[in-house]
Structure 1
Amino acid sequence: MKRFLAGLASACAATLVIATPAAQAAPIDPVKALGKQYVPGHGVRFTETARTTVNGKTMANEKSSGRLAFGKSGVVALDVSTKNRRSTSLSPDRLISVGGHTYVQGGIYGKDLPEGKKWVRYSDAPTGATMNQPVDVFEPKVLRLLLTKAKSSKGGTYTGEISYKDIAKAYGSKLTGPVSKIKVSYALGVNGKGLVTRLRTSWTLDFGVLGKTVGVTETRYTGWGSRVSVKAPAESTWVDANDLGEDSAVPEEIPQSAFDVYAY
């Protein structure tokens, strides 16, 4: 009997061990996962759609694709191609940012250029990683903001709403006035490795009797860690924006995002 009871106790103990679920690993921090991707010579690719409407009428409907190159602390270069469905769009057909300069071509940036020139060079680089996203998920402080402000993280998708005042604060700046109150709704998707795979944002600017502008942008990120190399166009093919003169139809600067076109 004692031997039977001892055997039964052992069997029950083994059953309990098998039935007890294994301790689950702590979820990966997307900000830390992002930091590990910052390896020179590597980067990520993306595709993006952006639609802007004014009083329900489509004013811009763009599709972009490109690649971002990383350095030790973030994005150091990007190469973006955009297809525009409105001739009035301020987005160039092609944008290359590298070495502290940005080179653009096509659309309004290709008007009345000197003979033999195909690109316009600007002396600064865009602050965001793409032309149409109002938030930059490659800035760790902004990514952390999206995570902490999220009202839900179901299924690895963080959804919430932030203001431009919140975004400015993440950069250590203070923003006041009507623009600071504008809300950006977002859905941020991450995979099992904590890496961002999708970002959908939307914002609304209500000008009262002047109408309402709505922007929706969705970006998908693939190929994290792939080798990426971005090079500037040959010097013989570009002209500096400062050398075009006051009468040039080419913009004096590049909008940092689609939001900037309507916000100021």
Structure 2
Amino acid sequence: MDNTEAFACFVPSARWGRSGIVRSRTCVVRCSGDLIPQSHAEVLSGIEKSIKVAMSDGMKLLEVQFPPTATAAASAALNETMDANRRHTRELIRGFTMEYSGRLSVAFPDKGEAVLAQRSWRVDEGEDRFYISTIEAAPRDPNAELFFVLNPGFNVDEYINLENFDDEKRTVVVINGELDRIRGGYYPRIFYPKLHKVAERSLRKFVPIYFFKSYPNRGTLLRSYPGPWRLFYTSGQGEITCLIESEERPSYQEMERILRKAADDERLSSYDDEM
């Protein structure tokens, strides 16, 4: 299903509520698949499935984005975010260590984070070995065929070094790298010319195969490959409705407009009920 039906529901169609206010209706789309994941266990299970399907389809440069903590991203401390990403990544790679014994590498932004993982991670009984390195050093490992690159972007050089993984032979999974910052122009070209050149050559190739992110106006964008992109709205009472299902990712402007409309309709409906 494309998003034509969903967008059609936001074309103004005048009618009078009991309050006498003219308004249009919000459309609820019947989305395929599950609703918003309710736990990190659900998220990690979805990520593992999406990665494996994408790899079977021959995809090499993969992006995974999800909330690492229960705390809003804007208020989560950096160390809290990194600790959570480290824990989630350890759980995630358990689904790959057997098949990629001795050929799996986890790359951290810096040596300090890599050392923390080396000290805290233990190889489970029956689990095969894997490597821990840094984003700068890991691409030189001739044995690695599958890389999990954790949380790049605190330093712009970490984004630039991602290009060293792009050899069209090995699979790279970037976890919570906030690559939307690059797509959305967060880094002005005039100040970051090298980053923009790398983005045009390599970073643009990364495909968001699992994307789970909340936006203003209580919106949530979710994509789990090979499924479509879905936009959800959560009401003040906690009711979740699906507003878009599309093979193409909706733009931020489209989502903002639709979520604002859904929030306005909820407020008007509440006002009507009070009258």
Whether TM-score is above 0.5 comes out as: no
Bigger Rg over Cα: 1
**Which has a greater percent of helix?**
2
What's the TM-score once normalised by structure 1's chain length? Answer: 0.30
TM-score, length of structure 2 as denominator length: 0.29
Q: Which has the higher strand share?
A: 1
